[in-house]
Amino acid sequence: MRIATWNVNSVRARVDRLVAWLERSDVDVVALQETKCKDEQFPEERLREAGYEVAHHGLNQWNGVAVLSRVGLEDVRVGFPGQPGWGEGSEAEARALGARCGGVDVWSLYVPNGRALEDPHYAYKLDWLARLRDAGAAWLAEDADAQVALCGDWNVAPTDEDVWDPAVFATSTHTSEPERAAFRAVVDAGYADVVRPHAPGPGTYTYWDYTQLRFPRREGMRIDFALCSPALAARVTGAEIDRQERKGKGASDHAPVVVELG
């Protein structure tokens, strides 16, 4: 089975590229982030025609997450237990969606950006990651053999090797020690980064900003991950970052990340 995660950065703007990539990549399950549409605007029919069942959670033109599967899709869950909200009334945003696909609990996660170190959104980001860690730990405490994939755009570069120039981000989000500690806490709870062993760095990234020719200059960040529970990590036989999909007209600023399971 092949599981992928991809911040598509507007599914309606890139549905043609998405369908073409699904045909080319032969993936069984895809976690999408930043779909940027309401549920009724999601191009579900196009994806069903491509052979995928669809679950989507979108509230407006921001955020939005989806899971696509051609190996079954059941037990759909909007949000993880304890997921914090943001803004007036602290309502939960469309940032987490889980579904059981081919016996694997696949979560599509779009971690808050944080905006700036002094911004309230940064504290929200840290709280969001802490609550995710608690939920993930509880799933493993309940069933040590649970097969769980925490897939998505984590908006954290966990080591200096995961960013093209750490000095550029010394006073901004994504590389701060509290963010990295929050990411490590999820790993320490039992979820392994299964991509890094198969896509070693340095210079291996999943995101390149649209500005300042970041992509052709190879100035990127590795912020998209598939973190797997022990039982699922033991099944991983390979992984890759599809850098080719970042090329060309109308590309997302993120590349898909694909994990191969035995």
pLDDT tens for 99-109 read 999 999 999 99
Decide if pLDDT at 226 tops 70: yes
pLDDT, mean of residues 196-220: 96
CA distance 110 to 80: 12
pLDDT value of residue 89: 66
User: What pLDDT score was predicted for residue 91?
Assistant: 78
Q: Is residue 88's pLDDT more than 80?
A: no
C-alpha pair distances (Å), 62 with each of 153, 210, 252 = 14, 18, 15
Q: Which helix (H) or strand (E) segment is 212 a member of?
A: none
Output the pLDDT for position 207: 98
Position 104, amino acid: V
User: Rounded mean pLDDT of 58-63?
Assistant: 93
Chain mean pLDDT for the chain: 97
**Res. 90: pLDDT tops 80:** no
Mean pLDDT of 98-126: 98
96 within 8 A of 107, measured Cβ to Cβ: yes
Nearest to 16 by CA among 55, 43, 38, 40: 43
Instruction: Quickly count helices (H) and strands (E) in the chain.
Output: 5, 12
Residue 47 CB neighbours (<10 A)? 23
For residue 75, name the pLDDT band (cuts at 50, 70, 90): very high
pLDDT for 87 equals 79
Percent of the chain with pLDDT over 90: 97
Residue recorded with tokens 């945003």? 93
Helix (H) or strand (E) holding 151: strand 148-153
What 3-state DSSP class applies to 228? strand
Residue 86: is its pLDDT beyond 70? yes
CA distance 213 to 202: 19
In the predicted structure, residue 230 carries a pLDDT above the cut 80: yes
Q: Which two tokens stand for residue 33?
A: 């982030």
- 233: Cβ contacts below 8 Å, ≥ 6 apart: 192, 194
Q: Which residues lie below 8 Å from residue 194, measured CB to CB, with a gap of 6+?
A: 226, 227, 228, 232, 233, 236, 239, 259
Residues in the chain: 262
23, 26, 31, 34: CA torsion to nearest 10: -30
Nearest to 60 by CA among 31, 11, 85, 94: 94
